[in-house]
A = this chain, B = another copy of it.
Amino acid sequence: MATIKDVAKDAGVSLGTVSKVINGIHVSDEYRQRVEASIKKLHYQLNPNAHGLKAQQTNDILVIVPTLQNALFPPMIDTIEKELNKRGKRMLICISRNDSSKIDSYISMAANSRVDGIFGVTYSKIVDPERLNIPMVAFDRHFGGKIPCISCDNEAGGYLAAKTLYEKGCRNILCFWAGTDYESEPTKRIAGFNRFCSEKGVNHNVLSFMDYNMADTGFMYPSKSYKKLIHSYLTPSDGDQKFAYDGIFASSDHLAHLICDELRKMGLSVPKDVQVIGFDGMPDFITGEPIVSSIRQPIDKIAKTGIEMLLKMIKGQEVSSVTDLPVTFVDGGTTL
């Protein structure tokens, strides 16, 4: 039976080139065609399960995301795939829909050495760091143990949102927060928001509801109950009362968009009467424009840095959490 060495010799290329072709890594068309011709000619058969034996590596990385139907994750995964493909790694995806038992099942699979590492975006209480025997990097989450966190500088993001609203003339600012009920990176946005407002002595308030977490809806289209909640929180209890805020910082673009809708229904103009800033700053797929004014996460850099961290860990190197990737303000028409 022909070996990989026979193929390399016949094709007149290095072993590495044959390995690249077999593993789906890009080589020149000419080289690829030569290797494929030799594989065909020599009836070379790769044992599909044997080629990873030597290194005890699968070259597969598992990416866990709650959904693809949210503007934040498709560009993140696009970059992750590009980074992995460059290095000859393959990307497996678990779309969790925040189903803890599904995530648990995938982690069992991973823990049984069926992938080399995990890049995880999860908003449920699931991972037991003790249980995980392969490297994992978490987006926006501090699991403890040996799982580093990758995220933007969320504290600076909250600060920048408050500062931007203030500089654009807002003097009564609301932070409207729909988050998770555990301490996570994103909650630092509230701290940053509060820090700016305290420094400047700006009139501010934080309205936080954790029970209507977007994560529960899988970050999908707003449910009717979610819209109702926004309505009940924003409507002044006395019908004739003036709306108390001229600036709102929302915990996501999705939420900011719903808030703008509600304000307009209340007869208020956005941004003339009330300015609104969201968080994430991803462009809309269709228009290419930001959906609302927003604090933009450097999603490419997050993905790239996260994958670099994960690959270092797979090589046995130590890494630290990186939570200071810089954010920027983007004007999406909901600020003056």
Instruction: Please list the residues of chain A having a beta carbon within 8 angstroms of any beta carbon in chain B.
Output: 21-27, 29, 32, 36, 39, 45-53, 56, 58, 60, 67-71, 73-75, 77-78, 81-82, 85, 90-95, 101-102, 104-106, 108-110, 112-114, 131, 220-222, 253-254, 257, 283-288, 291
With contact pairs A32-B104, A286-B257, A288-B221 given, residues A46 and B112 touching in the complex (Cβ less than 8 Å):
yes
- Residues in B neighbouring A220, C-beta threshold 8 A: 288
Q: Are A22 and B109 in contact (CB under 8 A)?
A: yes
CA distance A50 to B47 in the complex (A): 10
Copies of this protein, total: 2
Chain B residues positioned under 8 Å from A108 (CB to CB):
21-22, 24, 32, 36
A70 to B71: give the CA distance in the assembly, Å: 10
Whether B69 and A114, one on each chain, are in contact in the complex, defined by CB atoms closer than 8 angstroms, is no
Please give me the residue from chain B that is nearest to A222 by CB atom.
B288
Do B285 and A285 touch across chains, with their CB atoms under 8 A apart? Answer: yes
Cβ contact within 8 Å between B82 and A95:
yes
Tell me if A56 and B67 are in contact (CB < 8 A). Answer: no
Chain B positions within 8 Å of A102 at CB level: 26, 85
Q: Does A114 contact B287, Cβ atoms closer than 8 Å?
A: no
